Structure 1
C-alpha cells in the first residue's frame, strides 16, 4: 500500500509525497520548496528514494538541490537534464520504485512547457500544471494544439484515477467554469462541495478523471451546450473541439 501525503508550499502549491507502507522510503513529486518536505521527512523518519519532476518551473524544482544535499543517493527523474544526476524519462517509459511494487508510465504532455511530462498508473496521475480541477495550465512554451492533445489523452485514463495536480486553483477555476458552462448541474453541485471544503480549510485535490470530465470545461470541448455557450459569449463561430479549446484558454487568460 502507498499513501500520498499533501505538502502545501508557497501560496497555493502542492508537493506530493508518496509513502511506502512497507518501508521508511518515499517519493517526492515536484518539490518547489525543500523546507516543508524536510519537516515531513524528519517527523516520520523517512528516506527519499526518488524525486520525480513534471517540468522545469522553479516552483516545482526549487527545493531539489537542498533535498539532495541531505539525501545524496536519491534518484531524480525528469524529461530534461535539469540536474547533473537526473535520470531522463521520455514518452512511453515506465519507472519503478519500492523494489518494483510501484510503477508509473510516462507521457509527454507538452503545452504548459515543452518538457512537461505526466506520471501515472491505474490509481494515480501526477500531472503538474497540465490539468487542474476545473481548469488547465496556461500555454507558455507549447501550442494550444499540444495542450488540447495532452488533455484529451489524460481524459482517456481510468475514470477512477486520482488526479494530483500541483496547485490549489480550484475555486478560481470554478468561477470561470460556471461563467462559460452555467447550466451544468454537475458543476453547480461541485461548486457547493468545493466551497464547503475550502471553508473547512481542506484541499480540493486530488480530484478524479471522472469528476473532471463532468465539470472541467477544458475536458468538455466535445459538448454542444458548451460550444453554444462560448460562441454566444465570444460572438464568433467555433467549428471544432480544438477551436473551442483554444478560444476557452485565450478567454481564461484575460478573465
Structure 2
C-alpha cells in the first residue's frame, strides 16, 4: 500500500492510499483540485472515505463525483453529508475493491465523527492530531476522552493520518504541559527539521503519540501534576474527565 498526503486549502491533508492493483481510496477531500491533479499523474480512485461533515473535509466531493460518477462515498450517519452512498458507524466494515477498513465511532469534535482503520493506517480526521486532538465543537470532554482511548488501544505501529498540519504548534503546547519529556523533545526537533524542509510531519505512529501526545497521557504523573491546579476544586469528582477538560481548555487558550 502506498500512502500519499495531498496538501489542500490552508493546512489540510487529503489522504490517498493506493493498493498494488493501482486503485486508491481518497480520504476527506476538502477540495477537488489536488485529487484531480493526482489523477493526471495516474491516481485511480476506488472510493471516498469521509470522517465528518465539516466543509474542509467534504467540500471537493461533488466535483469528484462529477468526474467519477458512481464512485462510492462512505460517510457517517449524518444528513449534513448529502453525497454519501453508504452510511457507516461503529463496528461496520468498509470492503471495496480489495480494501478493508473497520469503522470506529469517535464523537467529540463532532457528534457523528468516525475513523477508518485498516492496512496499518488510521484515518482519524480531526479527532486525533499528531501531538494534539480536535476542538470540542459538538461533543463533551467525556466523549472525546473515550474516543481517544479507543484509538490509543490500536497497535502501536499504526500510522496516524489526521486531517491537518498542526504538529509544530501542537508540539509547542505539549512541551509546555510536559517539559521533561525527552521523547517529546526529540520529536519536536524532528518536526522543526521537517517543516524547515517543507515536508509533512505526518503520518506519525500511534506509539509516538502515546509517548508524546499529552491528550493520550492523562494518567502520566507529570501531566496530571501540570493539570491539577487548572481543575476547579468543586469539579474534581470525575478526575480523569476533568483533567482532560482542563487540558483541552488550556490548549484552546494557549499561545506559543
Q: Same fold (TM over 0.5)?
A: yes
- Aligned residue for 2:31? 33
Aligned residues: CA RMSD: 1.4
- SS of the counterpart of 1:247? helix
Query: Residue 47 in 1 paired to residue 44 in 2?
Result: yes
Query: Residue 194 in 1 paired to residue 175 in 2?
Result: no
- Aligned residue for 1:174? 171
Distance 1:114 1:85, change over 3 A: closer
Contact 2:128/2:148 (8 A) holds in 1: yes
Distance 1:66 1:243, change over 3 A: same
Residue by residue, what CA displacement relative to the aligned partner does 1:8-60 show, whole Å, maximum 9, x if unpaired? 0011100001112213x21110000001110001221x332110100000000
TM-score normalised per structure 2: 0.93
- Aligned residue for 1:216? 213
Distance 1:67 1:106 in 2: 23
Poorly superposed stretches of 4+, deviation over 4 Å: 235-239
Contact 2:3/2:15 (8 A) holds in 1: yes
- SS of the counterpart of 2:174? helix
Query: Residue 156 in 1 paired to residue 153 in 2?
Result: yes
Q: How many residues align?
A: 249
- Unpaired segments ≥5 residues, structure 2: none
- SS of the counterpart of 2:176? helix
TM-score normalised per structure 1: 0.94
Distance 1:8 1:185 in 2: 30
Residue by residue, what CA displacement relative to the aligned partner does 1:120-149 show, whole Å, maximum 9, x if unpaired? 025010000000011000000111111000
Contact 1:14/1:167 (8 A) holds in 2: yes
Contact 2:89/2:105 (8 A) holds in 1: yes
Distance 1:85 1:114, change over 3 A: closer
Distance 2:165 2:188 in 1: 14
- Aligned residue for 2:249? 250
